[in-house]
Amino acid sequence: MSITSPPAQAPPSTPTAVLAAVTVLPVIGLGEIREGDDLGGLLAAALAPLSPADGDVLCVSTKIVSKALGLRVAPEDRDEAIRAAAVRTVARRLHTRVVTSVVQIPSGPVMAAAGVDSSNAPEGPLLLPEDPDACARELRDHLVEALGVDVGVLLTDTSSRVWRVGVGDIALGAAGVSALQDLRGGTDADGRALHITVRNLADELAAAADLVKGKASGVPAALVRGVASATAADVPARELSRTGSEDWFRRPSLESVWVALGLTPEQEPIARMSPEPEGERIARALAVASLPRAGQPSGTAAARLSTGPEGRPHIVVEAAGHSDSALIHAATLAERIRTALEAESLAAALPEISLELSIPDSLEDLT
């Protein structure tokens, strides 16, 4: 595959610039990779017919690295492997009958199922390497020595993106590649200064390579040629992950509210991937708000859902008795329910819901 950008229209007095073509070449002939295989040697042999040159970038599916390293688990151990690989759990979503955990993995990226993949893995699900950058470095060192050229190496994997439908390949490991290109201080085509642009070149290269490789084609690697300055710096893929204090979306909306309401990860319900009925979301809000909290007396307040005027949902919070603790618990529960309902409304608006705080008619025993 060859991608050539058309020359831009220029004034008659200005010669039109000739832009270089970007070429993406499939690396064929690798065959099925098995545990213990010399992956560096196999890749060097498969690359030789392509006459690799300085500045080329080899994009390798991380899956074949995992196969060569024997990073397999039994199918029945898949869920435990995901839990073990998770640095933190970002969200859990129910798809039909399967719960998918979205977690941060040790190398930084946030991925569904910790990147544990069963496709094209008949001998059992494959785990991702714990340090993809180190694996990329080892492969690059082998290829540079074997081929005598300065090539970059990316380990790639399929991932979805926040707010984007579908999946594409991203870089999990990098060696000898300008994975991030800081364009700040330069100018755009109109001469305006660039102040915030830092280009994620590694993911762009990974996505381009995936156009000629992939799960269905049986081609696990591709060589990208003609990208200017692709190997001018050496930036590890770990630098591509926005984590810690720089993470703009550390928890999705529902989970953020549940954490704020004091739920432990074990108490959190699991929302579905597909749109959920209003009644199900309202019932979940009630359940979340009603979960007992540490140090709170039990049985002093309760909530029930009924149908109010015009068939609208109606929630009644009842205090069990006249004690200070019962009344405080009931008022607190009512506010927790409001908060949980607001969280459920963030993705899609809920119908108008009335909430009633019910206390005993007589307060003679109030202390």
pLDDT tens by residue, 231-269: 999 999 999 998 877 777 777 788 999 999 999 988 999
Statement to judge: residues 239 and 257 lie in one domain = no
Burial of 65 (0-12, 13-18, 19+ CB in 10 A): buried
Statement to judge: residues 172 and 66 lie in one domain = yes
Between CA 253 and CA 344 the distance in angstroms is 9
Given this model, what pLDDT does residue 320 score? 86
Q: What mean pLDDT is reported for the chain?
A: 87
| Domain end (from 188, 222, 243) | 243
Which of 336, 344, 332 shows the shortest CA–CA distance to 255? 344
Q: φ, ψ for residue 277 (rounded to 5)?
A: -60, 150
pLDDT, greater one: 191 or 78: 78
Statement to judge: residues 228 and 318 lie in one domain = no
Q: Is residue 202 part of a domain?
A: yes
Strand partners, 22: 3
Q: Is residue 281 part of a domain?
A: yes
Statement to judge: residues 344 and 221 lie in one domain = no
Q: For residue 110, which amino acid is it?
A: V
Token readout for 322 is 């006249």
Helices (H) then strands (E): counts for the chain: 8, 15
Given this model, what pLDDT does residue 110 score? 92
Kindly report the three-state secondary structure assignment for every residue of 94-130: EECCEEEEEEECCCCCEEEHHHCECCCCCCCCECCCC
Statement to judge: residues 144 and 21 lie in one domain = yes
Statement to judge: residues 301 and 328 lie in one domain = yes
Mean pLDDT in residue range 3-17: 44
Token readout for 52 is 């690799």
Statement to judge: residues 42 and 146 lie in one domain = yes
Statement to judge: residues 90 and 196 lie in one domain = yes
Q: Is residue 59 part of a domain?
A: yes
Statement to judge: residues 322 and 178 lie in one domain = no
| Domain end (from 225, 243, 261) | 243
Statement to judge: residues 239 and 280 lie in one domain = no
- For residue 14, the enclosing domain spans 2-243
Given this model, what pLDDT does residue 185 score? 62
Tens digits of residue pLDDT in 334-352 = 999 999 999 999 878 999 9
Token readout for 185 is 């201080």
Q: Is residue 34 part of a domain?
A: yes
Between CA 117 and CA 220 the distance in angstroms is 15
Task: Let me know: does 237 contact 136? Beta carbons within 8 Å.
Answer: yes
**What percentage of the chain carries pLDDT values higher than 90?**
63
Token readout for 166 is 């579908």
**Mapping DSSP to helix (H, G, I), strand (E, B) and coil, where does residue 304 land?**
strand
Tens digits of residue pLDDT in 136-168 = 999 999 999 999 999 999 999 999 888 888 999
Given this model, what pLDDT does residue 317 score? 95
Given a cut of 60, whether residue 18 has pLDDT beyond it is no
Confidence bin at 3 (pLDDT 50/70/90): low
Q: Is residue 364 part of a domain?
A: no
What's the total number of domains in the chain? 2
- The helix-helix angle for 62-69 and 39-47 (nearest 10°) equals 140
Looking at residue 308, the DSSP 8-state letter turns out to be -
pLDDT, greater one: 256 or 293: 256
Given a cut of 60, whether residue 9 has pLDDT beyond it is no
Looking at residue 332, the DSSP 8-state letter turns out to be H
CB atoms within 10 A of CB 33: 19
What torsion do the CA atoms of 87, 214, 165, 125 make, to the nearest 10 degrees? Answer: -40
Statement to judge: residues 179 and 320 lie in one domain = no
* CATH number of residue 186's parent domain: 3.30.1330.100
Statement to judge: residues 181 and 317 lie in one domain = no
Given this model, what pLDDT does residue 14 score? 40
Q: Is residue 248 part of a domain?
A: no
**What percentage of the chain carries pLDDT values higher than 70?**
88
Q: Is residue 43 part of a domain?
A: yes
Token readout for 146 is 């074997």
Q: Is residue 363 part of a domain?
A: no
Confidence bin at 69 (pLDDT 50/70/90): very high
| Domain end (from 204, 224, 243) | 243
